[in-house]
Chain A
Amino acid sequence: MADLSVNFAGIKSPNPFWLASGPLTNTGYQVSKAFDEGWGGAVWKTVGEPVINVSSRLASIDYGERRMMGLNNIELISDRSVEDNLKEIAEVKRRFPHHAVIVSMMFESNPKLWSDMVKQVEDTGADGIELNFGCPHGMSERGMGSVIGQVPEYAEQITRYAAEGSSIPVIVKLTPNVTDVRMPGRAAVSGGAHALSLINTINSVMGVDIDSWMPIPQVDGRGSHGGYCGPAVKPIALHMVSSLYNDRRIRVPICGIGGIETWRDVVEFMLLGSQAVQVCTAAMHYGFRMVRDLTEGLNDYLNRRGIAKVSEIVGGAANRVGDWNDLRLSYSFQVVARIHEEKCIGCNLCYIACEDGAHQCIDRIPGQKNPVVREEDCVGCNLCSLVCPVPDCIEMVPVDHGVRETWRQRQERLSSLS
């Protein structure tokens, strides 16, 4: 058995799988059930001045026959009193002393209020605090949530309010609804954040019912923008996680969030710098039981690779993600597509994709099932291999042209010539 336990900014957890703050961590009942089923930690649904919600609240986008490729939510923070939430948090923590219980918080920008509330949360025995600077809907109209995360100065200030008096780690949850997530990330660290978590949901309008012309979701004929999450957002989250991990000015642990559904997703998030991960949509879709695949899959993966501790993979691939300027230019290195004729089923999707959507370097040969790549004209864009429905049928073969040169090196070379 690989060691899946993590110590995240001082928060200990039997495994890196935490439930993210959301409808699935709204009550002691839910969090206890999740721990019983194998989750290592949970971030309690954001507590704050209780809200009144609307109905309906969720909408999803499907792809083909798969449901909920993306999910959108206009539900706000907890609609239960702070007292009720704190009481249940304390009960859960008593029952599960070795699990990670983190309390998500969102309050007005009042230092006294923050320090009082932090104290009350500490008294529950919770392991950490997560500051919700991310929700893009509803609360943002009241000066909270993503409007804090979008302004580095605010983010730093509120983090300071919470972190100054806190004896337990403070995690700042960032919004992706910014142009460069490093700015609020750095600000949070300056304000005293012990860790960062991201991404919160992405602002979105889910859709329009083309029969009724009603927005989706709708509340009695009106809709609003909401927070987008689910498998579709994973690439956005991976980019933001890696950009924070690779930022020299951010030296705090990162908890990855965004579209995680399988153990494979977990591995990717960890390789790009997440020490722990949070899951929401997938567990809302399939229930807490899905943690079994995460646990067994990650354990088997580590065993197959002879890795004893999950923490060893954190950031393992992050240094390979960086500036475009540091990529070798195509006269230096490229790949070319090669179609394996014995695997080709003759759908011609690669041909038409290259012909109409790329660089016109695949030919069809009369009387022959498989198209053929004109390798001398192939720019190595990958499109053909992406549209090909047959695994490993189109191979992208590396071609090293010898000289090593990136754009940065080229610019340096040219400027040294002049």
Chain B
Amino acid sequence: MAIELNEDSRFQEVVPPLLPKEVMEEANRCYYCYDAPCIKACPTGINIPVFIRQIATGDLDSSARTILDANILGATCARICPTEALCEGGCVRKEDSRPVSIGRLQRVATDHAMTTSVPALPPLPVSVGGCGRVSIVGAGPAGLGAAAILCRMGYQVDIYEEKGEGGGLDTYGIVSYREPIPVSLWEVNLVKNMGAKFHFGVHVGHDLEWNALRSQSDAVIVAVGLGRVPRLGIPGEDFQGVWDALNLVEATKTQPLDTIILGDRVVVIGAGNTAVDAATCANRLGAKEVTILYRRGQAAMPAYEYEYVFAKQDGVNYRWWTVPVEILGHGHVEALRCMRTRVVEGEATGRQASLELIPNSEFIMPVDAVIRAIGQAKPKNFWEIIGAQTKNNRVVVDPETLETSIPGVYAIGDCLARPGEATVVGAVADGKQAAWAIHRQLVKVV
């Protein structure tokens, strides 16, 4: 579906840019640490003290260059990185004051690049330039991260993408009040301008045979991400008014907002970051009462603390220790039958603990829409099609090179389905890692 840039004030970016004075104050708070912990805490290794110093000295061109050299999706990451768990979590100033607002400073530099001019990136430290053809399946963050490095090395890069635009979840899956769509599309354009050839609307396996792709490429990178939200597996799931959270977010970015009808009472199942996205979207679309149901307690909630705070500020209710057992209605959702849960006695605590339903705890919530936000399906079919070895439904890769069991085929990004948080910055880091591994391999072959 085509991108829909809406002007609705409720869907405009929530976090404002720093004011010029705030920029200088914040930049000057950086101690310019040597071998700084923030750099190590960034999966893409952005030289943070340097880019902040370049802001402080008024050289925004260089600052943007420093960022984009390490992370071509620096503008996205400036907005949606879980900075408190990454760079800002490493900042030494959390010990004597509060961390430097690295993310917001990064946005200053990348906004500058977006609104004025894109800095030329420095040559990569390669002794022999790249020569060959690399195909990438998926134009999301991981694919773009790999493509940028490969293009800079001199490879011919073709990117195949099912959707009509690049950027993956940045374009289709991140709520636009966190990251406006033009930011993501600008980044896709950066990679396009580096020489990568994008083939949109191409579903590898259908429109283009996998073997054909392989035979035309010296290396192939699979960066297909994860699938849709799995089904709940309860009766009534096919009623109208039952949503996949990612589909809902995508709808807010691809269709006029007034065509998305949720109703007054909305329930979101799951308490991760995507659940917060769905709940806050529902709120912005006019729902009067938005409730997040989670089968565990608050302590086990997978969402980042700031996402939880964001949801609470939006007026979202949380019901802990609750699972839906049946969706009631007549063709359309009317109510949700729920039960309370508890940890099986003697079991471990946290997200691993086994749960049991509390007998006779059933209750019914009248609702107009139910949104599933319980994670994303793994792309196991794809691995079967291409014949890559898997383990526990996860593709097996060499941890150093990210090469799959098929020589010359690499897997990066969310589709690796590694336990823990899938992040844009992690996907870009994967892309860089695979790009360098391919280069080392192809240079050897030549």
Contact = CB atoms under 8 A, between A and B. Distances in A.
A348 interface: yes
B95 A345 contact: yes
Interface residues of B, number: 14
Interface string A351-395: 110000000000010000000000000000000000001100000
Contacts of A390: 96
B34 A348 contact: yes
B24 A389 contact: no
A352 B34 CA distance: 7
Contact of A348 (B25, B33, B96): B33
Interface residues of A, number: 12
B33 A349 contact: yes
A65 B92 CA distance: 20
Contacts of B31: 347, 349, 389
Contacts of A351: 34
B89 to A, nearest CB: 13
A346 interface: yes
Interface string B91-116: 01101100000000000000000000
B33 A347 contact: yes
B298 interface: no
A349 B92 CA distance: 11
Interface string B102-145: 00000000000000000000000000000000000000000000
A221 interface: no
A385 to B, nearest CB: 15
A64 interface: yes
Interface in B1-48: 24-25, 28, 31-37
Contact of B34 (A345, A347, A389): A347
A351 B34 CA distance: 8
Contact of A64 (B28, B34, B35): B28
B75 to A, nearest CB: 26
A347 B25 contact: no
Given A346-B92, A347-B92, A65 B24 contact: yes
Contacts of B35: 348, 364
A349 B28 contact: no
Contacts of B24: 65
A390 B94 CA distance: 12
Contacts of A346: 33, 37, 92
A389 B32 CA distance: 11
Nearest to A371: B34
Contacts of B32: 349
A355 to B, nearest CB: 9
A65 B25 contact: yes
B28 A65 contact: yes
Contacts of B95: 345
A293 to B, nearest CB: 23
Nearest to A390: B96
Contacts of B36: 347-348
Contacts of B96: 345, 389-390
Contacts of B37: 346
Nearest to A369: B37
Interface in B266-310: none
Nearest to B28: A64
B24 to A, nearest CB: 6
A345 B92 contact: yes
Contacts of A65: 24-25, 28
A140 B317 CA distance: 76
Interface string A316-353: 00000000000000000000000000000111110110
A340 to B, nearest CB: 13
Nearest to B90: A346
Nearest to A210: B58
Nearest to B94: A345
Interface string A385-413: 00001100000000000000000000000
A352 B37 CA distance: 15
B275 to A, nearest CB: 36
B25 A349 contact: no
A352 B95 CA distance: 20
A382 B37 CA distance: 25
Contacts of A348: 33-36
Nearest to A388: B31
Contacts of A349: 31-34
Interface string B223-234: 000000000000
A390 B32 CA distance: 14
A364 B36 CA distance: 13
A349 B35 CA distance: 9
Nearest to B35: A348
A68 to B, nearest CB: 16
A10 to B, nearest CB: 48
A64 to B, nearest CB: 5
A64 B37 CA distance: 23
A256 to B, nearest CB: 31
A328 to B, nearest CB: 33
A179 B36 CA distance: 44
Contacts of A389: 31, 96
A352 to B, nearest CB: 4
Interface string A188-204: 00000000000000000
Contacts of B93: 345
Contacts of B33: 346-349
Interface string B68-102: 00000000000000000000000011011000000
A348 B31 CA distance: 10
A390 B95 CA distance: 10
A327 B70 CA distance: 51
A247 B55 CA distance: 49
A237 B94 CA distance: 38
A65 B34 CA distance: 22
- Best-buried of B24, B33, B93 by chain A (most CB within 10 Å): B33
Contacts of B34: 347-349, 351-352
- Best-buried of A345, A346, A348 by chain B (most CB within 10 Å): A345
A358 B95 CA distance: 27
A348 B28 CA distance: 17
Given A346-B92, A347-B36, A348-B36, 8 more contacts: A345-B92, A345-B93, A345-B95, A347-B92, A348-B33, A348-B34, A348-B35, A351-B34
Interface of B: 24-25, 28, 31-37, 92-93, 95-96
7 contacts: A65-B25, A345-B92, A345-B95, A347-B36, A349-B33, A364-B35, A390-B96
Ranked nearest first, the 5 interchain pairs of A and B with the lowest CB-CB distance are A352-B34, A348-B34, A347-B33, A345-B92, A345-B95
